[in-house]
Amino acid sequence: MTDTRVLYEEALTHHRAGRSDVAESLYRALLALDEGHAGAHHGLGSIEVASDRGDSGLMHLRRAAELSPSVEVHWVLLVQTLLATGRATEAHAVLERGRSLGADSPTISALRDRVAQALSLTPKQSVQQALHEQAKNGQAFQHSSEMRRLKQTLPQQEYAALVRSILDVNPLQKLELDEFRRVFDLTDVALSPDQITQQLSRAKQFSKYMPGRRILVAAAPKSASSYLANQLSIGLSLPFSHLTTSASFPSQLGANGREQELCEYALCRRSLEGTGFVAQHHMKGTPYLVNLLNQYGVKVIITIRNIFDAMVSADDMLRGDGGGWIHPFSQGALKVPRHYPRLPREDRLQILGNTLGVWYIDFYLSWLRLANAGSRHLLVSYERHLSRDGGDKRRLAEALEAHLELAPGEGAALRKTLLSEGFSRSEARFNQGLSGRGREVPERVRDHLIGHARFFEDELQQAQWCELFGESVQ
């Protein structure tokens, strides 16, 4: 087998597998050895046309047809490309030359009818027809340069009508995602409410099949959730994302004061990016939330901590206010007085008991009820897994590997990250990382929270009481 034959078969293999960048390099290497290789010209031309390099692609497609006029596919792709770019007259001339050189079949006859019809259209109408035919066949749009040209030359309403009509016939899940992004600049195109709803529905369906792991850390406050989410992000090479809003920096928009509920648009958008993500939010569980996360293939990890320890850690953060958490517009959904740092310690902890403590019990019960109903999530305990004075990171790594269904290489990378000491405490926003500090909480505050939890004692087993309040609570 000659070198050119080996190169050509290797290029075809990569091309058919969708590895166009590798195939393109091999086609070019082959043409450097044999400029007259028709198959290499055809393959390279098809890649360039598909990647929006139409003029160069057409040159290679023409060369392939000239070198091997008996190969019908060369003529077919060349004529189709000319039609798709609104060059019906040139497509007619090329097709007739191909027929004169022996290219004749039912496919050629059908193509001849299309050319005849295109000759009666304006260039704009010819492009529109080609785009619609691709849409009906569920093909990715291969000529986004033509769409951009039409957007620049057509009145806005005409362009909007063209986009809407294409969206009506082309299910989003049949489009290449990158092509969709490049083709449709919809920032100034008005869509009807029905079409917006349809596209969101299609985007939701399409997002399920995008690559990348999706993880939500639903966290009780001060449970080292920021630390865990960042370790997951580093160990699994996943970007850190927000799911409560599509904005990149929610705090700058005054969004901190909202109860942290999931925004489906943000979830859909992050999923469509195809990179996977890790998100971390103080988010209570509901059947609606779990159903939505399941639809998008998101794995859920719950982090918890002894309530009294969490309150003391929260007091450290708010009293120091190093991150500006006391400012009225920076506070979370659980409000504290603006003069909180100046209050006596017992008053501060009473405020946290009335706000954070009660919220914490609600949070714990929300996810416990879902687990009892069959929801699958991983419960990560601060005391058992994350604290500096007793947390077992190896045990945590094993649990994460099983829950996230990691491949061996992924599991090894995550273990290495979790067992390293290279992550700063300030980045994770937990203060001392120690258990047992909750003994500082005044007795009356402790009694109030335990009394509140006793209303749910038919749902809380001994193990759950220990997770919420510590070993000493019966």
Q: For the chain, how far is it from start to end, CA to CA, in angstroms? A: 80
Distances (CA, A) of 461 to 278, 456, 472: 31, 10, 14
What is the side-by-side order of every strand in the sheet holding 214-219? 240-241, 277-281, 214-219, 299-304, 378-381
Q: What DSSP string describes 368-417?
A: HHHHHTT---EEEEIIIII-TTT--HHHHHHHHHHHHT--HHHHHHHHHH
Domain ranges of the chain: 3-207, 214-469
Radius of gyration of the chain measured on its C-alpha atoms: 31
Using DSSP's 3-state secondary structure scheme, residue 46 falls into helix
pTM above 0.75, yes or no: no
Q: What is the rounded CA–CA span in Å between residue 168 and residue 418?
A: 48
Q: What is the rounded CA–CA span in Å between residue 65 and residue 71?
A: 7
- Beta partners for 302? 218, 379
Which secondary-structure segment (H or E) carries 279?
strand 277-281
What is the architecture, at CATH level 2, of domain 3-207?
Alpha Horseshoe (1.25)
pLDDT tens over the chain, length 474 residues: 457 888 888 888 888 877 888 888 888 888 888 899 999 999 999 888 877 677 788 899 999 988 988 888 888 888 888 877 667 788 888 888 888 777 777 777 778 888 887 777 665 666 666 665 655 554 444 445 566 666 666 676 666 666 666 655 554 433 444 444 444 444 445 556 676 667 677 777 777 767 789 999 999 999 999 899 999 999 999 988 888 876 555 555 566 667 888 888 888 888 887 889 999 999 999 999 999 999 889 999 999 999 999 999 999 888 875 445 676 666 777 888 988 888 999 999 999 999 999 999 999 999 999 999 999 999 999 989 988 877 889 999 999 999 999 988 899 999 998 888 544 444 444 445 566 788 889 999 999 999 999 999 899 988 899 889 986 565
Assigned CATH for 214-469: 3.40.50.300
